[in-house]
Structure 1
Amino acid sequence: MLALAVTACGSAGSDSAGDTDSGSGKGTSKPAAVTALPVASTARTATWTVQSTPHQLKIAPKRLARGTSADLDHVQLDEDLKGMVPYYLTVTYTNTGSAALTRPDPQANFTVTLADGTPGKAISLWNTNPLATAAGSSLPDNCDKAGPAAVAPGATATVCQLVMLPEGHTPATVAYADEAGETLLWKVADGKGDDDGQLLAAGTTADSSYQDVTTKGGAVPIRVTPKSVRAGSLKDLGDYDLGDTQKNLVPWYVSVEYRNVGTEKLLPSMDDGVGLRTAGGREVQPVPLIDFSRAAEGEGIDQCRGSVPNTRLEPNSALTLCTVHLLPKGDRPAMVSFKGEGKGAKTLMWHAS
């Protein structure tokens, strides 16, 4: 999460932000006009972890509204945020544990994602003007205010998280993720959002090119077709030594067909260029699974075989390779990508389903 400074606005002082215990008085700023978006609001069981201790919550989005870049004219934005649009995400959470929560901020674990899995950038604001006395917020839903100092067992809090997204898109998903729990997803409207024409339909064949250490005449033209994106079971990876974090993830298998339409042979290593982006906003690359006992059948597992050693993809021939991607429980693929190799090679992106 990014923390940004709120600068003073006019002689009456700046809008207060950050610590809700500081400052008092009558605000002079009117909240910015916003466009409310429909969002699913079913409360879900979640965890919020602080200092490696998980706390139990019941949590849900309550409201999502889109503002304009002008809303933050009084904020010192980083360069990569300028021109982006603020979304005001109001969430509610209930402390279902037995201990009070001190300075809780589970809203920081929320983000808003686009149809292709691009995550918004959550930011928090604080006041840099020590003489400010205005209590009114210039942002909707008090989204430049801190949350409560404490939440007792059984108590409920409502807070706002400010999320920045590229202009000209409609988000598809609200996501919550915590290191000790699964990813939670809620649809925005119908959950499809828009991709501004950047994504191909699932299963569509597209042209790219690929070059490896054996090619001599530059990148070889290929046609790429995603065949399937499917979830597996962690039991499928029982023969591999997984880390503690990996043991809590879910394998997803992506099968892609590659057709050589050039004149040179290619190594069957195109699967190195496959990637996933998830509805929760994660970028997930393939996990290398090398099984030397089954080398003749290719790397990987029975449910998902990858490259076959000592073979080549001949001109006018095709082969299908499979990659394994480990996702947190509750998350799902939103976009499949293929990055070509060599000069002028295209990166292709498809809807995952």
Structure 2
Amino acid sequence: MSHRKIVIVACAAVLALAGCGSEQEETAAPGTSVPQTPVAASSSPSKEAPPSGDGELTPTGTKLAVGETATVMYETKSLSKDGTKLAVTTESVKAGSIGDLADFDLDAQAKVSDPFYVTVSFTNVGPLPMEPGGIFGVIAAHNTSGDELNRLSLIGDFAPCQGDVPDNLAVGESYTDCGVYLAPTGQKIKDVTLAFYFGDADRTEITWTA
């Protein structure tokens, strides 16, 4: 019986890799991350602003450096009209090795790609508790050409890129998650973007330069 771990490719809206598929065999370790399709970057003008972590909302279009914090109004749960302020920090963008993924079943294209590990932290600033389950799905990574990269959803333990997403996030609580993105060999991540719509508000888009 096979004991390979499962990998699922979440297709980017603008594909930097040819094709997108999944391999599903028996998992060797517990833990499941559900993929969501990343949101492509828009061409809206950027705004330079200081990082915000005190509850003041960061203007859409703001560009930050990795390690800085943006505060956005985000839905308390999927499709909810209620919102809470969420402080979001892209903590790090690290290059990995395809050998790191040796325990997972990868397709032919993934095997000749370079993985990058994007770690992001989230703090519920308030005023309401929230369910953060799918928020990493609105975080996209782009290469130097501006193409959005595919994100892998790994089922099973993966030490180089781990996160512990709670079912609920009370006001004042924080957690950290990590996403695995694939770039064609020789390319690098240029930036990471948080982009989404909430309620009747315009699109919120915050970018961290890697």
TM-score, normalization: structure 2?
0.63
**Corresponding residue SS for 1:271:** helix
Q: Give the greater-gyration-radius structure (CA).
A: 1
Shift of 1:273: 1.4
Partner of 2:153: 288
Partner of 2:209: 351
Partner of 2:162: 305
1:265 equivalent in alignment to 2:130: yes
Of all paired residues, the percent bearing the same amino acid is 29
RMSD over aligned Cα atoms = 2.7
Partner of 2:180: 324
* Aligned mate of 2:88, from 224, 227, 239: 224
Asked if the contact 1:207/1:223 (under 8 Å) is kept, the reply is yes
Q: Please list, as runs of the form range in 1=range in 2, the aligned pairs for 1:230-269 lying within 5 A after superposition.
A: 230-262=94-126, 263-269=128-134
**Residues 335/241 of structure 1: CA separation in 2 closer, same or farther (3 Å cut):** same
Q: Deviations over 1:148-200 (max 9, x none)?
A: xxxxxxxxxxxxxxxxxx9x9xxxxxxxxxxxxxxxxxxxxxxxxxxxx8522
**Residues 210/285 of structure 1: CA separation in 2 closer, same or farther (3 Å cut):** farther
1:209 equivalent in alignment to 2:101: no
Shift of 1:307: 5.0
* Aligned mate of 2:141, from 258, 276, 290: 276
**Residues 311/333 of structure 1: CA separation in 2 closer, same or farther (3 Å cut):** same
Asked if the contact 1:231/1:250 (under 8 Å) is kept, the reply is yes
- What is the aligned length? 151
**Residues 198/224 of structure 1: CA separation in 2 closer, same or farther (3 Å cut):** closer
Separation in 1 of the partners of 2:148 and 2:78?
A: 30
Asked if the contact 2:90/2:120 (under 8 Å) is kept, the reply is yes
Shift of 1:213: 4.0
TM-score, normalization: structure 1?
0.39
**Residues 231/347 of structure 1: CA separation in 2 closer, same or farther (3 Å cut):** same
**Residues 198/312 of structure 1: CA separation in 2 closer, same or farther (3 Å cut):** closer
Q: Please list, as runs of the form range in 1=range in 2, the aligned pairs for 1:171-186 lying within 5 A after superposition.
A: none
Which structure 1 residue ranges, 5 or more long, are not aligned?
A: 1-117, 119-165, 169-196, 295-300
